[in-house]
């Protein structure tokens, strides 16, 4: 029958309330009388207290609307977190030819014939240093692993692209996991500074590490075994006196790992495991774990960051296996998981084998890159 209550619905009611299953945009819902009814109470005049509640409610709706507009619609905000494997598959199939050229030792751009001076794939050694490295240095990476190594170097030369949906999903996943929020966030804004980037655009902090830096953060927060550690470190980074920029510190650690790869310090472990990217990720997490333990137990502050990163660089280059064992113990929660062995000091003459990264303190973030190995 058509004479029921549904048939007597007035046109103005159909305009105010959409059909079942169809959602209203935030701007329309904010102006709908239902919001005022919820805040004021049906049939009651709005007093001063109610007006204050209405103001707060409107601010909340405006904030949500701003998030939607900043994401370019709700589809990206509602997208599920992207797993590390899904993101890696994207890079494995994407056209990274330009990035691979830039990751080479000294490559000619095919169309212009100019030399591209980017991050070299390996560290050049001459004279006695080359001879010593040949006789006593680490083994070379096996040929079947060279492709994976080149992929890692190519990702380090690949910048953050607003037009690549996977890039944006990676960024959103990192934000949601660290903040434990179910809501997305705008592409630009002060919220990225709260995560530990230098400014409103995370892409400007990825110089020299590119998407590899974000991929390692993604691994850190999406792996079930390392997520608790990532959240503990992020919590410490918000400490009143021991605070530090989490994401900038993460980028610096990726630089350490990348440099160890270039100096062939990880070839033995990569050959043993027949993996490259997995070794890089584990060394990244292990280095972050060591930094976290020193920072927390010795009550370090941002003023100590430069020195600590130097020591972490030495550990990653000299004793990567020891760092990886420390991470394994932490993950397995063995009795030695909480034990800490500080990195060995430099030799008496202050020399260090291999190419040294010139770190600056994280408290001196506004420093331009000077050369290929300069850190933020």
Long-range CB contacts (within 8 A, 24+) of 200-204: 202/160, 202/171, 202/247, 203/159, 203/160
List 358's β-bridge partners, or say none: 374
CA distance 30 to 55: 12
Q: What percent of the chain has pLDDT above 70?
A: 59
pLDDT at position 101 is: 55
Q: pLDDT grade, residue 127 (50/70/90)?
A: low
Centre a 10 Å sphere on the Cβ of residue 243 and count the other Cβ atoms it contains. 13
Say how far residue 366 (Cα) sits from the centre of its chain. 19
Query: Which residues are CB-neighbours of 117 under 8 A, at least 6 positions away?
Result: 106, 372
Q: Which residue has the tokens 């935030």?
A: 26
Q: What is residue 23's DSSP assignment?
A: P
Yes or no: say if 341 and 327 are a contact pair by the CB < 8 Å rule: no
Residue 122 has pLDDT above 60, yes or no: no
Provide mean pLDDT across the span 130-147. Answer: 73
Cβ–Cβ under 8 Å, residues 300 and 241: no
75: pLDDT confidence band, cut at 50, 70 and 90? Answer: low
The answer on pLDDT for 256 being more than 90 is yes
**257 with 280: CB under 8 angstroms?**
yes
pLDDT value, residue 372: 40
The confidence score (pLDDT) of residue 52 equals 74
User: Across residues 95-105, what is the average pLDDT?
Assistant: 67
Contact by Cβ (8 Å): 357, 313: yes
The alpha carbon dihedral of 298, 302, 307, 312 has a sign of: positive
Looking at residue 34, what is its pLDDT?
42
Tokens 């590490």 label which residue? Answer: 209
- As a whole number, the mean pLDDT across the chain is 75
pLDDT digits (tens, 9 = 90+) for 153-200: 999 999 999 999 999 999 999 999 999 998 889 999 999 999 999 999
8 Å CB contact between 247 and 197? yes
Distance from chain centroid for Cα 129: 35
Instruction: Using a pLDDT cut of 90, give the percent of the chain over it.
Output: 53
Exposure of 243 in the CB half-sphere (CA atoms within 13 A): 9
Confidence of residue 97 (pLDDT cuts 50, 70, 90): confident
What is the spatial distance between Cα 176 and Cα 71, in angstroms, rounded to a whole number? 14
| Region 81-88 average pLDDT | 96
pTM value surpassing 0.75: no
pLDDT at 62 over 70: no
Choice among 43-52, 297-306, 339-348 with the minimum mean pLDDT: 339-348
């Amino acid at each position: 029958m058509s004479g029921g209550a549904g048939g007597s619905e007035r046109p103005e009611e159909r305009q105010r309330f959409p059909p079942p299953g169809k959602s209203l945009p935030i701007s329309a819902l904010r102006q709908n009388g239902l919001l005022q009814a919820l805040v004021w109470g049906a049939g009651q005049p709005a007093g001063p207290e109610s007006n204050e509640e209405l103001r707060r409610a409107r601010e909340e709706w405006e904030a949500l609307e701003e998030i939607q507009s900043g994401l370019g619609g709700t589809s990206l905000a509602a997208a599920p977190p992207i797993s590390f494997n899904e993101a890696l598959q994207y890079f494995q199939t994407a056209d990274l030819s330009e990035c691979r050229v830039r990751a080479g030792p000294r490559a000619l751009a095919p169309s212009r014939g100019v030399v591209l001076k980017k991050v070299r794939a390996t560290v050049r050694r001459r004279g006695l240093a080359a001879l010593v490295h040949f006789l006593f240095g680490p083994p070379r990476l096996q040929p079947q692993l060279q492709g994976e190594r080149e992929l890692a170097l190519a990702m380090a030369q690949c910048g953050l692209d607003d037009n690549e949906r996977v890039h944006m999903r990676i960024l959103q996943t990192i934000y949601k996991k660290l903040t434990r929020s179910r809501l997305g966030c705008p592409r630009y804004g002060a919220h990225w500074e709260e995560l530990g980037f230098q400014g409103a655009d995370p892409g400007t902090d990825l110089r020299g590490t590119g998407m590899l830096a974000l991929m390692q953060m993604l691994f850190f927060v999406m792996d079930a075994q390392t997520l608790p550690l990532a959240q503990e470190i992020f919590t410490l980074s918000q400490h009143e006196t021991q605070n530090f920029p989490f994401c900038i510190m993460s980028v610096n650690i990726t630089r350490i790992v990348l440099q160890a790869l270039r100096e062939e310090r990880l070839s033995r472990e990569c050959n043993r495991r027949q993996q490259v990217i997995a070794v890089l990720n584990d060394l990244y997490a292990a280095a972050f774990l060591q930094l976290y333990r020193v920072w927390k137990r010795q009550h370090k502050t941002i003023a100590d960051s430069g020195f600590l990163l130097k020591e972490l660089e030495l550990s990653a280059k000299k004793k990567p296996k020891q760092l990886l064992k420390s991470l394994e113990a932490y993950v397995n929660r063995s009795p030695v998981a909480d034990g800490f062995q500080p990195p060995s000091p430099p030799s008496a003459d202050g020399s260090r084998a291999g190419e040294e990264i010139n770190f600056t303190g994280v408290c001196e973030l506004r420093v331009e890159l000077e050369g290929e190995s300069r850190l933020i």
